[in-house]
């Protein structure tokens, strides 16, 4: 990532308003106008937690429609992602490169991009030390950190657990991975973890947010397109996800699949029935498939946890903390492997677990479908 420089060679200051982003790789490029400051921590002000990413930024003019800044996204080549999120409202040919409902078609405009509301994937990205977030996401994250200072360590342990779980499953012979609610895969990409063990691994990333999906497609552009797909779909509609043609192209559902639901289900409300969602995905997979779940709890500090949870009140998804018995019920249809449903640092650690593991609130486990 770089900043535009003035005639003296110094970085131009970050200005209020919307810089126009160009995300690029050797497979293509994406222009993403963010409708607002992208981040308070661009490379010129990177700190110990936020280092420059590989996505390059260039300040350009903000396009405006009907007085409202909008987001544009363009790719010079056709990609493998389908907009299942909008398919039900579209009669357009999905192979049409100018399909207005395809987030990766040239000139695509998102139906809405509300940068006044934080998004869980971008909050998570900020806490992981990534660079792809808006000011509102940073503010929500910092609000949570004021109440739960170990919050950054919690998401880092979540990512570390996920890497260990994926490595364990790949070593056990599973080479297909369905990453639900994947967020931004650039920071600790699980595809790279799986392929470090089994280079032939197939991975499908699923997220319902159009802008997250656009960024995700750029961040995995170097991966083998025959074994990788980014799908825009809502995991709360599992039947729709499972029927997606890109998922079906990459994954063979007659062979075991690892279903990854890391830091996802605590954003599913009781009314949306997370148990039904997990069971639908598990039932669609053959014997030998796996279910990976991490879920936040209050860590035995309900008042402190509730204060931190309120940071998500104005986000696009609310946060729901659950007790152990409710989380364990989400593994219905599988047999939980050792060491069971445990705090993330205690799940098959690479060495001695951190001494403050009790401060890493939440539980994690891996279930295998018999």
Instruction: Examine the pLDDT at 103 and tell me if it is beyond 70.
Output: no
Task: Say which residue, 313 or 321, is predicted with more confidence.
Answer: 321
Q: Residue 62, class by beta-carbon neighbours within 10 Å (0-12 exposed, 13-18 middle, 19+ buried)?
A: middle
How far separated are the first and last CA of the chain, in Å rounded?
46
**pLDDT value, residue 128:** 83
Question: In this structure, what token pair is assigned to residue 337?
Answer: 């492997």
Arithmetic mean of pLDDT, 219-230: 84
Q: Among 344, 346, 366, which residue's Cα sits nearest to residue 166?
A: 366
Instruction: Examine the pLDDT at 334 and tell me if it is beyond 50.
Output: yes
The residues spanned by each domain of the chain are 151-368
Report the residue count for the chain. 370
Q: Among 159, 148, 161, which residue's Cα sits nearest to residue 124?
A: 159
| Spatial separation of the C-alpha atoms in residues 306 and 292, rounded to whole Å | 25
Sign (positive or negative) of CA dihedral 235, 241, 246, 252: positive
**pLDDT value, residue 112:** 55
| Spatial separation of the C-alpha atoms in residues 235 and 241, rounded to whole Å | 7
Q: Among 109, 31, 35, 12, which residue's Cα sits nearest to residue 74?
A: 31
60: confidence class by pLDDT, cuts 50, 70, 90: very low
Place of tokens 């369905």: 178
**pLDDT value, residue 41:** 26
**pLDDT value, residue 177:** 98
Instruction: Examine the pLDDT at 146 and tell me if it is beyond 80.
Output: yes
Q: Among 170, 324, 203, 183, which residue's Cα sits nearest to residue 264?
A: 183
Question: In this structure, what token pair is assigned to residue 154?
Answer: 């919690």
Lowest mean pLDDT among 95-99, 167-171, 282-286: 95-99
**pLDDT value, residue 187:** 53
Lowest mean pLDDT among 59-68, 95-104, 205-214, 242-251: 59-68
Instruction: Examine the pLDDT at 157 and tell me if it is beyond 80.
Output: yes
Cis peptide before 11 (omega within 30 of 0): no
* Per-residue pLDDT tens digits for 61-93: 223 333 333 333 332 232 333 333 333 333 334
**pLDDT value, residue 308:** 79
**pLDDT value, residue 106:** 42
Question: In this structure, what token pair is assigned to residue 210?
Answer: 């159009």
Could you tell me the fold of the domain covering 151-368?
Answer: Rossmann fold (3.40.50)
**pLDDT value, residue 178:** 97
Task: Say which residue, 223 or 55, is predicted with more confidence.
Answer: 223
Percent of the chain with pLDDT over 70: 67
79-83, 93-97, 150-154, 361-365 — most confident range: 361-365
Q: How many CB atoms lie within 10 A of CB 356?
A: 10
Q: Among 154, 342, 327, 172, which residue's Cα sits nearest to residue 258?
A: 172
Instruction: Examine the pLDDT at 17 and tell me if it is beyond 50.
Output: no
| Spatial separation of the C-alpha atoms in residues 101 and 106, rounded to whole Å | 11
| Spatial separation of the C-alpha atoms in residues 122 and 83, rounded to whole Å | 20
Helix (H) or strand (E) holding 22: strand 20-25
Task: Say which residue, 311 or 12, is predicted with more confidence.
Answer: 311
* Per-residue pLDDT tens digits for 200-224: 999 999 988 777 777 777 767 778 8
**pLDDT value, residue 208:** 85
Instruction: Show Cβ contacts of residue 302 under 8 Å, excluding neighbours closer than 6 positions.
Output: none
Q: Is the pTM of this model over 0.85?
A: no
Task: Say which residue, 320 or 8, is predicted with more confidence.
Answer: 320
Arithmetic mean of pLDDT, 39-54: 37
């Amino acid at each position: 990532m770089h900043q535009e420089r003035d005639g003296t060679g110094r970085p131009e200051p970050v200005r209020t308003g919307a810089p126009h982003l160009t995300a690029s790789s050797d497979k293509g490029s994406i222009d993403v106008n963010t409708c607002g400051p992208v981040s308070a921590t661009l490379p010129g002000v990177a700190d110990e937690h936020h280092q420059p990413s590989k996505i390059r930024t260039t300040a350009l003019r903000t396009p405006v429609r009907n007085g409202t800044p909008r987001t544009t996204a363009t790719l010079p080549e056709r990609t493998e992602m389908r907009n299942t999120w909008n398919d039900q409202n579209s009669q357009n040919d999905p192979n049409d490169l100018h399909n207005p409902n395809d987030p990766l078609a040239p000139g695509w405009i998102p139906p809405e991009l509300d940068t006044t509301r934080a998004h869980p994937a971008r909050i998570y990205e900020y806490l992981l030390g990534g660079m792809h977030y808006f000011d509102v996401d940073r503010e929500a994250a910092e609000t949570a950190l004021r109440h739960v200072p170990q919050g950054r360590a919690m998401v880092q342990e979540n990512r570390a657990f996920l890497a260990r779980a994926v490595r364990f499953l790949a070593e056990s012979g599973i080479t297909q991975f369905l990453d639900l609610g994947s967020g931004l895969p650039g920071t600790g990409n699980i595809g790279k973890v799986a392929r470090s063990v089994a280079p032939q691994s197939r991975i499908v990333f699923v997220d319902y947010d159009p802008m997250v999906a656009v960024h995700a497609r750029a961040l995995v552009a170097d991966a083998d397109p025959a074994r990788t797909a980014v799908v825009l779909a809502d995991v709360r509609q599992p039947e729709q996800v499972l029927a997606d043609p890109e998922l079906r192209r990459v994954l063979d559902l007659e062979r075991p699949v690892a279903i990854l639901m890391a830091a996802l289900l605590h954003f599913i409300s009781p009314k949306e029935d997370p148990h039904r969602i997990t069971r639908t995905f598990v039932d669609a997979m053959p014997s030998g498939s796996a279910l990976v779940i991490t879920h936040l709890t209050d860590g035995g500090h309900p008042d402190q946890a509730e204060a931190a949870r309120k940071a998500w009140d104005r986000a696009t998804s609310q946060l729901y903390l659950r007790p152990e018995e409710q989380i364990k019920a989400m593994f219905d249809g599988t047999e939980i492997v050792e060491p069971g449903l445990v705090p993330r640092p205690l799940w098959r650690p690479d060495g001695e677990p951190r001494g403050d593991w009790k401060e890493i609130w939440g539980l994690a486990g891996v279930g295998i479908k018999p």
